[in-house]
């Protein structure tokens, strides 16, 4: 069979005739053949037409130049496939190791910018997950992917780009940010486009508020870490820094918990990093189903971050507090199963010479399958061998074993840096015993006001409630033995008849009952099982005052009853029901409608100015940057004062 002619090869690429093209390539044809005008290659023609099989055959050729720009406008095959909406072709090209997804055409547009302009959400997500750059600006107009999506009224694509951390401060060649563009569009939108413009504008405002909150709580300048982890919700704050749930942007529906260790006034950054690396290395050594898994650790700005697996049902301490408020308790069998799971995890750690040193309900986490895991290794230490002991005070007082607490003075503070007597892994056994008692009774094992006396003295030890097996109560007694040598080890506890029988039962019957209990009571617990996205988290946060005012004005313009307005209005707060003076809202609505009064800008400035006691003349100068209508500004200030005094 004779080799197809050049024209036949070009026609095969244009029409998707993979068989004819293969004949051409097998006969030694040029994989980078251009058409008669010299503008387009075979790959360009196939990509534009969405002919996946032809693209596959061409990319198999080792000499195929995937990133070759067209002679017409400099588009690559990837840009062409995105412009034409051919997702399968784009996906195949992205999988090629030599494909550069951030190449720009002659106008400075990347494949992501083309996807954003078209509103091609699936293609945009594909490019973002493969690492497309967000802040590349076009030569024509100085647009980024976000400003293009806003300009072309693509709300879903705007949401995607914001989730991946697109900059809100970039200005186009005309000096406008994405928020400015959205505001202009909202002001001039036709009735059929108004809801779409509103959605985009409010998404940008929500995102700005969210990022300001993240910066305030975490010290991070961006709410996307390492281009991969998007902050959803802060779940813990302390002296070390904070912890938050994050969305893994490169893997849909996957979440993680990120612990951020921030520099402290009395500690150098290098010390924070040293402690963070130590904790991360300990976690990397621990590979067990009952130990929280570390995913990676990284340095972000001056902060050290540890990324860990997400435990959907939160921590045990939150469950104890949530259930206790409703006078509920854990089922007996659930407590026993969790206790044995934690015992397995501790036994694994101790077998690898790792002592946790801070076992307590706050550091026990519950997974989606209702299993318990040990987490937070900030105090953990690895012993060197059989004769090695830890010798520094560490842990939480209520769960601290006698050999550590005996070295604290009457005010329960460390009197020396090194205790007289060292301690080993049995300190964790004591702490787990205290945790078992708390799980069983919803009470602390010792009186906080007589803590050292009860822990180190000879007062009776805590006992489990009568509904628990006597064998488990016996195990608790052996775990709370005040003399370290008499205290049981994890392996001894696991060798008990109760542990062997119950572990065998768990293998056969699983934890379905525990899961049903958690699911039916999850509403009682904060940061538990209901976190689905940043948007869900935002719904429980304080809603921006500007949104409430916009809704009120829109209601008047559409002849509806205006809703209540409050700068600190919370969707869960039913006590706020008053409406602000209708006459003022109506007057402002008329100004917005007929003279284009810049409601949002002036409202934001008035909240800041009045909250900071800025003098009237300075406030008027500030408002004059946006409008000459000082009467409307005063009316707006009246609303703000009304709301501030009502809080």
Would you place residue 412 in the very low, low, confident or very high pLDDT band (cuts 50, 70, 90)?
A: low
Q: Which H/E stretch holds residue 308?
A: strand 303-309
Look up 358 and say whether it is catalytic.
yes
How much is the pTM?
0.65
- Judged by DSSP in three states, 70 sits in coil
- 278-288 tens-digit pLDDT: 888 889 888 99
**From 268-277, 292-301, 417-426, 435-444, the region with the lowest mean pLDDT:** 417-426
- Judged by DSSP in three states, 235 sits in strand
pLDDT value, residue 578: 40
Average pLDDT of 341-362? 94
Q: Are 518 and 313 in contact (CB under 8 A)?
A: yes
Q: Say whether pLDDT at 335 is over 90.
A: yes
pLDDT value, residue 304: 86
pLDDT value, residue 351: 92
Q: Which of 198, 207, 197 is nearest to 161 (CA)?
A: 207
DSSP category for residue 34: B
- 33-48 tens-digit pLDDT: 999 888 999 999 999 9
Average pLDDT of 410-425? 55
Give buried/exposed letters for 210-245 (b at 16+ CB in 10 A, else e). bbebbeeebbbebbbbebbbbbbbbbeeeebbbbbb
Most confident of 123-137, 225-239, 515-529: 123-137
pLDDT value, residue 643: 57
Catalytic residue among 159, 315, 358, 428: 358
Q: Say whether pLDDT at 336 is over 50.
A: yes
Domains 1-100 and 316-524 share a fold: no
Question: What percent of the chain lies above the pLDDT cut of 70?
Answer: 83
Q: Say whether pLDDT at 564 is over 60.
A: no
pLDDT value, residue 517: 92
Q: Which of 134, 90, 92 is nearest to 110 (CA)?
A: 134
Beta-ladder partners of 259: 243, 306
pLDDT value, residue 558: 56
Q: Is 593 annotated as a binding residue?
A: no
Q: Say whether pLDDT at 156 is over 50.
A: yes
pLDDT value, residue 577: 30
What dotted CATH number matches 1-100?
1.25.40.20
**From 172-176, 272-276, 530-534, the region with the lowest mean pLDDT:** 530-534
Average pLDDT of 166-194? 90
pLDDT value, residue 279: 86
Contacts of 592 (CB under 8 A, 6+ apart): 553, 557, 599
Would you place residue 444 in the very low, low, confident or very high pLDDT band (cuts 50, 70, 90)?
A: very high
Q: Which H/E stretch holds residue 241?
A: strand 241-248
Q: Say whether pLDDT at 65 is over 60.
A: yes
Looking at per-residue confidence, does 181 or 232 come out higher?
Answer: 181
pLDDT value, residue 571: 29
pLDDT value, residue 266: 63
pLDDT value, residue 90: 93
Looking at per-residue confidence, does 539 or 78 come out higher?
Answer: 78
CATH topology of domain 316-524: Transferase(Phosphotransferase); domain 1 (1.10.510)
- 379-399 tens-digit pLDDT: 888 877 665 666 567 778 899
DSSP category for residue 414: B
pLDDT value, residue 537: 38
Q: Are 566 and 274 in contact (CB under 8 A)?
A: no
Q: How far apart are CA 242 and CA 255, in angstroms?
A: 17
pLDDT value, residue 30: 92
Q: How far apart are CA 427 and CA 343, in angstroms?
A: 13
Q: Say whether pLDDT at 104 is over 70.
A: yes
Looking at per-residue confidence, does 183 or 549 come out higher?
Answer: 183
Average pLDDT of 590-610? 73
Q: Which H/E stretch holds residue 115?
A: helix 111-118
Average pLDDT of 351-367? 93
Q: How far apart are CA 60 and CA 67, in angstroms?
A: 14
Q: Say whether pLDDT at 638 is over 90.
A: no
Mean pLDDT across the chain: 83
Would you place residue 566 in the very low, low, confident or very high pLDDT band (cuts 50, 70, 90)?
A: very low
Q: Say whether pLDDT at 607 is over 80.
A: no
Beta-ladder partners of 364: 374
Would you place residue 576 in the very low, low, confident or very high pLDDT band (cuts 50, 70, 90)?
A: very low
Q: Say whether pLDDT at 259 is over 60.
A: yes
Q: Under CATH, domain 224-310 is a member of which superfamily? A: Phosphorylase Kinase; domain 1 (3.30.200.20)
325 exposed, middle or buried (CB, 10 Å; 0-12, 13-18, 19+)? exposed
Segments making up each domain of the chain, as ranges: 1-100, 224-310, 316-524, 542-646
């Amino acid at each position: 069979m004779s080799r197809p002619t050049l024209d036949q090869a070009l026609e095969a690429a244009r029409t998707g005739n993979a068989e004819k093209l293969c004949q051409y390539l097998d006969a030694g044809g040029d994989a980078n053949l251009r058409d008669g005008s010299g503008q387009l290659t075979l790959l360009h023609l196939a990509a534009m037409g969405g002919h996946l099989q032809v693209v596959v055959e061409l990319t198999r050729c080792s000499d195929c130049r995937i990133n070759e720009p067209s002679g017409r406008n400099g588009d690559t095959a990837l840009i062409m496939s995105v412009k034409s909406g051919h997702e399968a072709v784009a996906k195949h090209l992205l999988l090629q190791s030599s494909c550069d997804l951030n190449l720009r055409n002659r106008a400075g547009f990347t494949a992501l910018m083309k996807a954003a302009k078209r509103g091609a959400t699936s293609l945009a997500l594909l490019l973002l997950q493969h690492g497309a750059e967000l802040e590349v600006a076009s030569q024509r107009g100085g647009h980024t992917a976000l400003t293009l999506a806003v300009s072309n009224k693509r709300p879903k694509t705007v949401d995607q780009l914001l989730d991946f951390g697109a900059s809100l401060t970039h200005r186009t060649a005309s000096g406008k940010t994405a928020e400015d563009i959205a505001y202009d569009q909202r002001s001039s939108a036709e009735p059929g486009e108004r809801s779409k413009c509103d959605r985009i504008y409010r998404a940008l405002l929500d995102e700005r508020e969210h990022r300001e909150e993240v910066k305030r709580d975490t010290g991070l300048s961006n709410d996307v870490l390492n281009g991969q982890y998007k902050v959803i919700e802060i779940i813990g704050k302390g002296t070390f820094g904070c912890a938050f749930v994050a969305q893994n942007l490169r893997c849909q529906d996957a979440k993680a918990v990120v612990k951020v260790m921030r520099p402290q006034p009395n500690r150098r950054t290098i010390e924070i990093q040293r402690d963070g690396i130590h904790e991360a290395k300990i976690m990397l050594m621990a590979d067990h189903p009952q130990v929280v898994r570390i995913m990676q650790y990284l340095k972000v700005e001056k902060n050290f971050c540890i990324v860990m697996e997400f435990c959907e049902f939160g921590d045990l301490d939150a469950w104890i507090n949530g259930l206790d408020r409703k006078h509920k308790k854990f089922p007996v069998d659930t407590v026993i199963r969790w206790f044995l799971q934690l015992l397995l995890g501790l036994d694994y750690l101790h077998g690898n010479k790792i002592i946790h040193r801070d076992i307590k309900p706050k550091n026990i986490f519950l997974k989606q399958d209702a299993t318990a895991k040990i987490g937070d290794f900030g105090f953990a230490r690895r012993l060197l061998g059989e004769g090695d002991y830890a010798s520094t005070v560490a842990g939480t007082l209520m769960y601290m074993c006698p050999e550590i607490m005996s070295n604290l003075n009457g005010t329960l503070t460390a009197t020396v840096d090194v205790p007289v007597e060292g301690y080993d892994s049995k300190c964790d056994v004591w702490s787990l015993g205290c945790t078992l008692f708390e799980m069983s009774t919803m009470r602390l094992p010792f009186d906080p006001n007589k803590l050292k006396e009860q822990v180190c003295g000879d007062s009776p030890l805590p006992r489990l409630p009568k509904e628990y097996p006597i064998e488990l109560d016996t195990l608790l007694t052996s775990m709370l033995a005040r003399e370290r040598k008499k205290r049981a080890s994890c392996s001894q506890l696991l060798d008990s008849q109760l542990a062997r029988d119950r572990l065998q039962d768990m293998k056969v019957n699983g934890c379905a009952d525990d899961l049903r209990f958690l699911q039916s009571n999850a509403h009682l617990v904060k940061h538990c099982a209901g976190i689905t996205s940043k948007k869900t988290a935002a719904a429980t946060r304080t809603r921006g005052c500007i949104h409430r005012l916009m809704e009120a004005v829109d209601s008047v313009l559409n002849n509806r009853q205006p809703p209540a307005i409050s700068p600190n209005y919370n969707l869960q707060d039913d006590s706020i029901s008053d409406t602000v003076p209708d006459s003022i809202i109506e007057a402002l609505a008329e100004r917005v409608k007929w003279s284009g009064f810049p409601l949002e800008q002036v409202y934001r400035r008035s909240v800041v100015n009045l909250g900071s006691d800025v003098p009237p003349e300075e406030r008027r100068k500030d408002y004059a940057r946006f409008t000459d209508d000082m009467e409307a500004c005063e009316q707006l200030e009246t609303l703000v004062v009304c709301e501030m005094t009502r809080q």
